[in-house]
Structure 1
Amino acid sequence: MTRRTPPPDALTCEVVELLGEVVRRYHDDYDRAAADYALTGAQARVLALLAYGPMPMRRLADRLKCEPSNVTGIVDRLAARGLVERRADEADRRVKLAAATPEGLRTATELRESLGDFAREPLGRLPERERRVLRDLLHRMVDDAPRPPE
């Protein structure tokens, strides 16, 4: 017999719905900002991830929750525009890394700074203490969650 978890309480359901709405609005805002740079939302998200440093294609796919073949197409289009390049991983020459070019880093920075309507303004209006509490609670949710096998 399968053990069932109890249904979530009303507060948990409301929090889940609000998190979903935050994510939806963030993606909408991000997609609008990306369009100003003639990028798709997925291309902009790849650039944003690569702004932190080169990353294997498989990890990009994992972070974007998509198939590696999708990431290949996105990276190809970004490379054609001079925003991304492929490099061999120094630790394992068989692994290909995607890396933002200087132009890609500049574009990622400008894009991040152009976010405003939803992605940044409501959060910025919260007092720093509340932003820290929210950050810490989100870390607890993310860091404590079971990770899928790699």
Structure 2
Amino acid sequence: MKRATGSKAMTDRPLVCLAAFAVGAVFLLVGILGFIPGVTSDYDMMKFAGHESEAKLLGVFNVSILHNIVHVLFGIAGIVLARQARTAEWYLIGGGAIYLVLWLYGLLIDKETSANFVPLNTADDWLHFVLGLGMIGLGVVLGRRLPRRERLA
């Protein structure tokens, strides 16, 4: 059954688009949840940025206002870039690379200094590692499944 609008249904899109949309939606949700007291413990201790922010999403992951805003923007980017296979693949691979760099950054900095401006804790570091590998893996594997013309478009 065709849609009258002529637009593709989400289920008709390449898997790389669905994956980028799902990843973007999760980041958007996580960014919003970071602003909800109760979901974020020690909400009253949240700072705009920096290691002094003691708020923790789900009681585990350090967050700040800046951290939450970055998640929201990264999520919106994923949803927007999921519209085309090529940009969805770029979002997943490029975003994964960013998260691997953030993982390394988190491992190398002293968490109690101004270098920890996001803020990051050990749980964030290892989540960034898993996200980075997962996003790159999705982008590479699902991007390979695209017809050559869609990959080069």
TM-score, shorter chain, exceeding 0.5: no
Higher relative CO (CA 8 A, sep ≥ 6), structure 1 or 2?
2
TM-score normalised according to structure 2 size: 0.32
